[in-house]
Amino acid sequence: MGKNSPESEARNQLRHQVMTPVFFMVTKETQPLALDKHHLEGKIIDISDSGFKFTSPMPLNEGDQISFEIVSDTKTIFSGVAEIMHCNNDLVCGTFYLKIKQHE
């Protein structure tokens, strides 16, 4: 997929910038954790149908899995498990959803 390909342009158009907390913890084998086990807090930068970008308080490696919950106004909007696709030196990480659950 090239930088200016239709796929990359669509991906950029479908990403929504938000600044809301994400609470998470590293997990294994696509296992979501209980919401009270999400002890690390990051900040969502943008979100899409396939994943989200966030700032992490600690380095994460490509292939790591995190159990997460995205919160707005102290209410969990959705939770699940995501795989880290990349994380740079500024601790900005991109994810891909493996499991997702919407909360009412």
Distance (Å, whole) CA 59 – CA 23:
15
CATH number of the domain to which 69 belongs = 2.40.10.220
Chain-centroid distance of CA 91 in Å reads 13
How many separate domains does the chain show?
1
Q: How many CA atoms lie within 13 A of 60 on its CB side?
A: 28
| Eight-class DSSP state of 5 | S
Q: Which residues pair with 9 in a beta bridge?
A: none
Query: Over the stretch 19-77, which tens digit does the pLDDT of each residue have?
Result: 789 999 999 999 999 999 999 999 999 999 999 999 999 999 999 999 999 998 889 99
Overall pTM surpassing 0.85 (yes/no): no
Residue 3 lies in a domain: no
Full domain range(s) for residue 57:
17-102
